[in-house]
Structure 1
Amino acid sequence: MSLSNSNTHKFSLLKHLRCPECGLVHNAAEINTVCNNEDCRSTLFAEYDLPQVLNPEQFLAGRPANMWRYHEFLPVINPDNIVTLGEGFTPILPLANLKAEAGDNEVFWKDESGNPTGSFKARGIGMAVSKAKELGIKHIVTPTAGNAGGALAAYCARAGIKASVYIPQLTPKVFKDECRLYGADLVEVDGNIADCGKLANDDAVQNGWFQVSTLKEPYRLEGKKTMGYELAEQFNWQLPDVIFYPTGGGTGLIGIWKAFNEMEQLGWIGKERPRMVAVQSTSCDGIVSAFHGGQSRSEFKDSGFTIANGLRVPKPYADKQILNVLYQSKGNAIAIDDADMNDAVKHIAAKEGMLIAPEGAALWVAFKKLKAQGWIKADECVLLLNTGSGYKYLENID
C-alpha cells in the first residue's frame, strides 16, 4: 500500500481494536474497556490500516511539533474531537556534566517534564479524553498515584467532561491541589493505588462513569506510544541500543514497543530493537522478581511508601504484556531503593540543571548499576526516559 491510495485523506487509519492475547476483534466505534472474552479480559490494542511510507521526513514535513503529528496512526477519527494542551515532542538531551560518569556510553534523556501538567501522563490522558469526547462520554474516573489524576482533571476541564480522581492519602499535596484546581472531584483513600482502583471501580459501576485506569481502556496506550515515534524521529530513525523506563503501570513501555512494531510496518525502521529495561522501586518490584524468575505474570508486591509515587503499583494490570516486552527485547529489570533515588535527584539537579522526578532519577542509578555489572556494553547508546517534573515531589525529597 502506498500513500497514493484513498486512505491518504483520512485523518486516522484506525481499523478496529484487537486483543493481543486471544485475538478477539472489537468495534472501535463503540465504547470499549478490556477484552470481552471472559477468559481473557486483556487490555486491547488499536490496529491501523498502515501504509508503506518510505520517506518519513517528507511525510511529516510541516506538521506541528506535538504528538498529533502522527495522527494517521492515532485513534481519533474526527480532528474536531482533539483535546490538546500542546503535549508531546519533548526534547532529547545529551548528558553534560555527568558525561564522565557515563564513561564510554552515549547517554541521553528524553525529558517529559515539559508536558502539560508536568509529566508524560499528558500524552495518554490527552488521547483517552479526546477519544472519550468522540464517543460521547460525559464522566470519567481514574485511580492515580499522582500525575495521571492531575492530567485527567486538566484535560477533562478542557473538554467539558466531568472528572473524578481517587488518590492515596500519602500522595504529595501538590498533586491533590492541582486536581481540585482543575475542578475534579477528589477522593483521598487510605491505601495504595490498588485500593484506589477498587473504590473507583465500585463507584464507576454504580454511577455509570467511564474508567480510564491504566491499561483497562485502549487509548491511553495510544497516547503513550507517541514517545516511541518521537524518539525514533529525533534519533533520525536509528534507535538507541538500550532504553530505561520507570515501570509502574507500564503503559509507556508497552506503548513504545507497539510504536516500534508499527514503524517497522511503515518502513520507517528495521527489525532491530533496543533492549528495554524496566526500573521499579524496591517497594513494589513484582515485575523485577517475575522477570528474573522467568515468569509470565507478576505477584502482588507492596512494601509501602516510596518517594517515587508513580512506581507504587503493586501489580500492574498488564503485567504479562510488560514481561513480554522485556523478554522479546532481551531486556532487563532492576529495582532501586528510595535512598539511591533521593541522592540521584539531588545529584542530577546539581550537575545537569534538571530537577527530575524520582522515577526518572531511578533510571540513572539503574544505568550505573547495570553498566558496573557489564550488562551495558561499551559504546552502546542509552536513552533514559524521565517521566516528569521533580517540582511536584519536593516534599518527598530529603
Structure 2
Amino acid sequence: MERNINLLEARPSFVTHLECSLTGELYPADQLHGLSAAGRPLLVRYDLPAIGKRLSRADIERRPTDMWRWRELLPVRRSEDIVSLGEIETPLIPLPRSAGPAVIVKDEGRLPTGSFKARGLVMAVSMAKALGVTRIAMPTNGNAGAALAAYATRCGIETIVFCPEDTPEINVREIAMQGARVWRVNGLIDDCGAIVGEGARQGRWFDFSTLKEPYRIEGKKTMGLELAAQLGWELPDAIFYPTGGGTGLIGMWKAFDELEALGWIGSHRPKMFAVQAAGCAPIVKAFDDGVEHAERWEGAHTVAAGIRVPRAVGDFLILRAVRASGGRAVAVEDHATLQAVDDAARQDGLLLCPEGGATLAAYRLALEQGWVTERDRTVLFNCSTGLKYPMPPAPRTLDRTQTIDFDSL
C-alpha cells in the first residue's frame, strides 16, 4: 500500500494561540477549551509569516491532494494524533443542464461517512485525542453525529449522540453502527444541545456542539483551501453554502484571509450566499433586519434536516462574512429544494442531498433577482451524498413469463 506522506511525515506546527471571535481575548494553545469567556467561538491563529517563509504554493501542489496536504495550516501538531479515514480532496462537478455552464458543485458526499461533516470532525477528534479527551457528547441532525461516531470510535473515545426524533432513520442507524450511544429526543437540535450542555456542566463529557470547541472550523476551512488550489489560486465569483451552524462558511472565509496573508491569492473574494430553508431561516431574518445576532427561529421545519438549526452560536461570524463579501442570506422553499434535487439527478446525473438541492434552488433565485449572473463562476456545495435520503418510489415491474410489449418499455 502506498505510503501517505501527508499523514506520516513529521511537519512543523505554526499554531500560536486561540482568540475569542467576539472580543479578541487571547487563549493559550495546547489546552482544552470550549467557548471563550464571552460565550463565543474561539479561533485558531497561526504564525503566517513563518509559514510563508517555509511553504510555497508549489510545495502544496507537489503533495498528494488529500485534506492533510495543508498540515502547516492546521492545528494538529503530531502525525500520530491524526485520526484519518481517508479524507480526499472532493471533486468539482459541472451542472451544465440544471444550472448552466458557469456553475460547479463541490461534492462533499465523497468524504468518509458521506458528508462534509468529516472535515470538521476529523480535526476536532484528532485534537481531542491530542488533548486527552476520553468522552464526547454532541447534538446532531444526522451527519455530524455519524462523522463523530466514526472518528471517535477509531481512536477509542467514548461518544454519546442526541438527535431530534425525526432525524432520518439511516443517519440514526449509521451513528449507532459506528459505535456511539445514540438517543432520539422529542425536540430540535438546540433542545438536544441543551442536554449536552447540562451534561458537560456536570462533568460527564466534553461538549462537541457546533463551534463550542475551536477545531471544527479548522477542518471545514479546508474546503476554502481546496477551492483555491483547484481553481488555479483564483477564487470563484460566488459560493452558495447550506447554512445551519455555518461552520464551513466561517471556515472558508478564514481560509481566504490566511491564503491572502501568505500571498497565495489576491484580495478578490466570492460573494458568500448563506442558504437556509424558508421554514428555518434565522440568519436570513437577521441579515434582512441588519443585525449581527439572530433570534431563535420558532417552529423550525424543512425537508433539509441538516440546515434545520433554530439558533447558531456563530451567527455574527456568518453575517459578517456574508456582508463583507457582498453576498446575501437566502431562504428557499422546500418545493424549490426538492425540484432542484430532481433536476440535478434527472438532467445532470448528480444526486444531491436536500441541503445541496437548496443551494441550487438559491442559485436559481439569485439569478432571477440579479444577485448573480449566468457568467459568474459559481460554486454550490453538496454537503452529503444523496444516497442517505428518501427518494421517490420506482414501482414498475416486469413479468418475464408473459409476452413483453417492448414498445411500452
TM-score by length of 1: 0.93
The answer as to 2:46 corresponding to 1:45 is no
Contact 2:57/2:264, CA 8 A, preserved across alignment: no
The answer as to 2:317 corresponding to 1:316 is no
The answer as to 2:29 corresponding to 1:28 is yes
Partner of 2:403: none
Structure 2, unmatched stretches of 5+, are 1-9, 395-409
1:205-229 Cα offsets, whole Å, 9 max, x none, are: 2243111110111000000000000
Distance 1:163 1:174 in 2: 18
Contact 1:34/1:43, CA 8 A, preserved across alignment: yes
Partner of 1:164: 160
Distance 1:304 1:265 in 2: 39
Contact 2:11/2:71, CA 8 A, preserved across alignment: no
Partner of 1:94: 94
Contact 1:249/1:318, CA 8 A, preserved across alignment: yes
Contact 2:236/2:379, CA 8 A, preserved across alignment: yes
Q: Residue type of the partner of 2:91?
A: P
C-alpha spacing 1:242/1:61, structure 2 compared with 1 (3 Å): closer
Contact 2:150/2:178, CA 8 A, preserved across alignment: yes
Partner of 2:404: none
The answer as to 2:142 corresponding to 1:146 is yes
How much identity, in percent, do the aligned residues show?
45
Residues 222-371 of structure 1 aligned to structure 2 (within 5 Å): 222-371=218-367
Partner of 2:80: 80
Q: 2:198 aligns with which of 179, 199, 202?
A: 202
Structure 1 residue 155 displacement after superposition: 0.4
Contact 1:165/1:186, CA 8 A, preserved across alignment: yes
Partner of 1:14: 15
Q: Residue type of the partner of 2:71?
A: H
C-alpha spacing 1:353/1:53, structure 2 compared with 1 (3 Å): farther
Contact 2:355/2:382, CA 8 A, preserved across alignment: yes
1:275-316 Cα offsets, whole Å, 9 max, x none, are: 100000111101001111111111111333311111110011
The answer as to 2:106 corresponding to 1:110 is yes
Structure 1, unmatched stretches of 5+, are 1-8
Contact 1:172/1:393, CA 8 A, preserved across alignment: yes
Report SS of the residue matched to 1:52: helix
Distance 2:262 2:234 in 1: 15
Structure 1 residue 10 displacement after superposition: 4.5
Contact 1:127/1:220, CA 8 A, preserved across alignment: yes
Distance 1:319 1:88 in 2: 29
Structure 1 residue 362 displacement after superposition: 0.7
Structure 1 residue 390 displacement after superposition: 1.2
Question: What is the RMSD of the two structures over their aligned residues, measured on CA atoms?
Answer: 1.8
Contact 1:241/1:275, CA 8 A, preserved across alignment: yes
1:99-147 Cα offsets, whole Å, 9 max, x none, are: xx53xx6111110000001100000000000000000110111100110
Report SS of the residue matched to 1:370: helix
Report SS of the residue matched to 1:26: strand
Distance 1:207 1:221 in 2: 24
Distance 1:397 1:208 in 2: 44
The answer as to 2:127 corresponding to 1:131 is yes
Report SS of the residue matched to 2:172: helix
Contact 2:96/2:103, CA 8 A, preserved across alignment: no
Q: 1:178 aligns with which of 141, 166, 174?
A: 174
C-alpha spacing 1:396/1:134, structure 2 compared with 1 (3 Å): farther
Contact 1:172/1:395, CA 8 A, preserved across alignment: no
Distance 1:220 1:29 in 2: 15
Select the structure of larger CA radius of gyration.
2
Distance 2:105 2:61 in 1: 25
Distance 1:304 1:315 in 2: 10
Contact 1:307/1:396, CA 8 A, preserved across alignment: no
Structure 1 residue 355 displacement after superposition: 1.1
